[in-house]
Amino acid sequence: MKLKIITFSVLSIFIILLIGLIFWKQEYKFTLPTPKPANYVEVLQGDSIDIQYTTEKPTYYHFYNYDCPCSRFNIKEFESLVHKYKNDVKFYAVIETDDVLSDDVNNFLEKYDLGIDVIKDSKGKLATALGVYSTPQAVLIKDQKVYYKGNYNKARFCLSKNTKFAAQALEAMVKGEKVPDFPVVAEIAYGCELPTNTNKSKTFFSFLDL
């Protein structure tokens, strides 16, 4: 009887710890800034950009990762921006992959019929060029320069109208105004690491990725 009680207690503690780890993996870690990659090269507002995917129109790059719950929730916010500004801005969805045979681009096009181009960012080359290492992130380019680079909101749930940084920046860019004076939180990357960075930092607890 005593052995059963001890076994039950140990099992209960293990389950509680496991639940705690899952909670941290799925929720708490998204309240913390995304770790910067060791080889990160910072790209700042106003920096000149020389990349393949640019147009005469102002350009908007949306970094998406289906494996990231933040990205999946954020897609509705991105959809609303595309529908509102698609006549004035060239939108791209950027999907990073280090798998040549990856079908993520086609999956995105089938799931989200937005009428925009989707870039397969092989090994994160475009992300590196734009200084992005987290998702969801937005980069706005105007006149070959970074107009805005940062978060959609102060948290992964884009529910606070006053802190919809990407939306406010996009509206100002379309109107020909200077980028709004955002707080520092707009530029500190939150959310999930991009796939290339994630694969480099797998840990013992990788089995908790759901």
What pLDDT is recorded for position 208? Answer: 36
Peptide bond preceding 136: is omega within 30 degrees of 0, i.e. cis? yes
Note the pLDDT tens digit of each residue in 4-36. Answer: 666 656 676 767 666 656 555 555 555 677 888
* Better-scored residue on pLDDT, 126 or 25: 126
Name the residue with tokens 């001890």: 6
Between 198 and 38, the higher pLDDT residue: 38
- Whether the per-residue pLDDT at 173 is higher than 90: the answer is yes
Nearest to 93 by CA among 71, 69, 62: 62
DSSP classification of residue 67: T
Q: Among 144, 94, 91, 141, which residue's Cα sits nearest to residue 116?
A: 91
pLDDT in tens, 44-103: 999 998 887 767 889 999 999 888 888 888 898 999 999 999 999 999 999 987 665 568
Distances in Å between the alpha carbon of 201 and those of 39, 52, 78, 91, 131? 13, 29, 28, 30, 19
The 10s digit of each residue's pLDDT in 76-87 is: 899 999 999 999
pLDDT of residue 201: 44
Q: Are strands 134-135 and 137-142 parallel, antiparallel or unpaired?
A: unpaired
Q: Which of 196, 67, 41 lies closest to 130, judged by CA? A: 41
